[in-house]
Structure 1
């Protein structure tokens, strides 16, 4: 069977992994590390490969580089093998192969994942615990200004960190202090194993449309034959949300269905499309609460269909808003609250937290002016409607969603960090440092921007690579200016919203069951045959009248009696009653002790009093 043709998107930097055969050591001491780094320098000079970062682990080598074609990369890899393997074999008295098969590779979307991958390989090398001088373990000392490696080529994503070297080194030192999330590490390893592209969903879809080949990792395992009850999961999701919100002293608020700020003549266009807007309007119009306040909500929202703008689409949100809190601590509280809810839903391994700082409205406006100037050649060729739309939010071009935007123009675009004041940078540093201390993995993505224009300062999203259509399951941030405009006075405000439908889809993929206390079921009544249903309902009514404080349920599910008894015995059921109208016989099962007994209808009440006492 022929080998699969290697995927190489030349405009994307490549993450390369070389592994020791059978996990054999590739480096025994510092001399091996020095020799390999020297060969790496020679390989870059001979091939013209632009090497951005490297990490040497005891049995693995990671390289982050850019190349113009497959042949150059192949010759680069072959040269490393031809010069290092003979040296290693001679020095350590061995023979045979050193590498485990071909090198593994993955394309990296530079705006969102280049610095994360650089951090991934440098941290792994530094954490390997070797006694070798760190300058020969990875490129981290060079990026921190502790050592100079002249064969490294700075990538535009690295240059966009700050205007000068000292600023980049300081920003990167802070960046390295934040732990990498397990979800991101799993994505990197999956992309390397499957030779796919590490990028967000929109970039992957654009690449697949242009190249006509799949670039995303393929899911493992066979397709599922059974899916959980989505309604039951939805009920549990609301129960988890209520427990978490009330535990943090958030009060539930009811939202209006109409968006009063929208004055369109079409009633459908006035339906509420965002929970934050509805929450602020309810406060402003009904004077529902005094500030400061913590509020949460759940309910339906409406938007135009993404494929047909004439159709309405209903979706659901579970969100929270905190008003009257100006300090960054409230943002940390909400991020930890989101983390707790995802943890209770057992979805943490499937999501990753990404954060960006938008600065103040004035700083964001200055950044947008720089972007308009940078993308002026692209904007000039658009129709007036598109020009007006992109003039107000040119950051959309950074995501590569507009066809015809050169990749080089996106990669060399100015970064928002260069436009932020020291106060905004300190605020972001306080938040990320607090998240690190709390043990919440996250990544700072300077190309992360909201779809709605009212955010300022911090903005974040919980994203998943497991869903194709809806990769964002939660988003939130600070929106002081919009809150002040709607309420009518200065009000610091921040909040977040979970998208319910993507959460349900993700739960099906993860096969998760939320950690929530089940609804109490003291007694479950099961008809032995279909003609016993009326008798079972009569028994249920009699028990509810007699035992007013017990939870009595009639189980009318279908299937064999044994299967129905197994299902009914779950969810904390204390007593299972199987009733038969033919002989007026009732069988009682004490579920916890698995003790069975029987009685007639007339003696059932006294029997249950004895068992429940």
Structure 2
């Protein structure tokens, strides 16, 4: 027999039982961003490979090891996007929407692709919500991004499960001076570095700071500190950010080893981390990238943003039992109809009810069936109430109204009074 068709390893189906929680999370974030004045942008999932080499950095793990890259029929090298910032910068440059110093506050949502070893919370196709702001260079907008995420954790009930880590990478000049000092220090301890850190020392030495190797971490205890190499501008920017977080009362810790995995960051970098997901501890991360737009061919344009992993945050909501109870119910009312005349009337009545109560989740029975079979389907749907329409109800222009999830007797409701009754029982609780 031929092998059965399956999804690609690390690229998962999101089943109907799972999508209500995804929609709840995505809707919560979208409303929050709307309230803060951010506008959605949608970019293609495939870009020219050169875009990511120029923005992320050719010697990063993402470009060297993880990208899904292929040649199309024209011979162009294309890549499934591994992250969203580069694509968003390409879009704003292409359409000129940051020209003349125009402030743009944008957000996007969608799948990203990296060829990593799949594990819980880390997949080859994963989904992110990202946010990018252009032409604002002060610490106030950095603070706004963090304050927004803090508010989001509050709305989701996750504040006690996350911790904010901050660092400043300084300008490219101060970071260059620090890189030289770090390389000099690590080169003197080369024999104590793990193989991966030895490789990174030659290509991307700052990434040695976030190694998980215990022996290398022991060496880093005495390594030069980025804070000692910050220029006055970066130091003032970082102090301004911390002052704003203090004013709002958002707790944070300074992590001098926080460098992020992409070459384009400068000044502020931050991560929201958790210990509730095992090894995959980062749920939201970002920072400032003031040189990226110019690096990609545009005029000097300040930029800052973040991305959050939807899979990991959905896992957190489940692990911490923060899934709203109403998500387990997809139907409020199930309408049972017996006989062709009743089915016709049920269709007309249900549409009238939908006009009057657009938020009501009303499912009408399809496929006919006996009284017993229709009630079985009504119960399985999770509906709170069943509506019954047969020949007797049709003659009297009433429907039977039967509670399915609690106390209460079946009663008859006139058609013209049904919407008001449902509004009281269902829509208002």
TM-score for the superposition, normalised by structure 2? 0.73
Distance 2:297 2:328 in 1: 40
Partners of 1:455 and 1:479 within 8 A in 2:
yes
Q: Map residues 330-369 of structure 1 onto 2, 5 A cutoff.
A: 330-369=141-180
Q: CA deviation at 1:242?
A: 1.1
Partners of 2:83 and 2:112 within 8 A in 1:
yes
Distance 2:23 2:341 in 1: 28
Q: CA deviation at 1:583?
A: 6.0
Match of 2:37 in 1: 249
Match of 2:223 in 1: 413
Match of 2:266 in 1: 456
Match of 1:554 in 2: 363
Specify which of 17, 20, 23 is matched with residue 235 of structure 1: 23
Structure 2 stretches of 5 or more lacking a match?
1-15, 54-68, 367-372, 424-429
Deviations 1:449-498 (A, max 9, x none): 10111110010000001112421000011001112323611111101111
Instruction: Give the 3 Å change call, closer, same or farther, for CA 394–514 of structure 1 in structure 2.
Output: farther
Q: CA deviation at 1:513?
A: 3.0
Specify which of 283, 292, 301 is matched with residue 103 of structure 2: 292
Matched, 1:275 2:84: yes
Q: CA deviation at 1:370?
A: 1.0
Work out which of the two has the higher radius of gyration on C-alpha atoms and give 1 or 2: 1
Match of 2:321 in 1: 511
Deviations 1:213-247 (A, max 9, x none): xxxxxxxxxxxxxxx95321110011101110000
- Partner of 2:267, secondary structure, is strand
Alignment size in residue pairs = 369
Distance 1:419 1:533 in 2: 81
Structure 1 stretches of 5 or more lacking a match?
1-227, 570-575
Q: CA deviation at 1:294?
A: 0.6
Match of 1:539 in 2: 346
Partners of 2:84 and 2:130 within 8 A in 1:
yes
TM-score for the superposition, normalised by structure 1? 0.53
Q: CA deviation at 1:548?
A: 2.6
Greater relative CO, 1 or 2 (CA 8 Å, sep 6+): 2
Partners of 2:347 and 2:364 within 8 A in 1:
no
- Partner of 2:157, secondary structure, is coil
Match of 2:65 in 1: none
Match of 2:13 in 1: none
Match of 1:598 in 2: 412
Instruction: Give the 3 Å change call, closer, same or farther, for CA 514–343 of structure 1 in structure 2.
Output: farther
Q: Map residues 93-492 of structure 1 onto 2, 5 A cutoff.
A: 229-260=17-48, 261-262=51-52, 265-266=70-71, 270-287=79-96, 291-306=102-117, 313-379=124-190, 387=198, 389-402=200-213, 405=216, 407=218, 409-486=219-296, 488-492=298-302
Partners of 2:387 and 2:401 within 8 A in 1:
yes
Deviations 1:492-524 (A, max 9, x none): 110111100100111111110369999998x72
- Partner of 1:568, secondary structure, is coil
Matched, 1:588 2:389: no
Instruction: Give the 3 Å change call, closer, same or farther, for CA 545–609 of structure 1 in structure 2.
Output: closer
Distance 1:403 1:354 in 2: 20
Match of 2:56 in 1: none
Deviations 1:552-588 (A, max 9, x none): 520779998699399423xxxxxx4432658657322
Instruction: Give the 3 Å change call, closer, same or farther, for CA 458–371 of structure 1 in structure 2.
Output: same
Q: CA deviation at 1:302?
A: 0.9
Partners of 1:252 and 1:297 within 8 A in 2:
yes
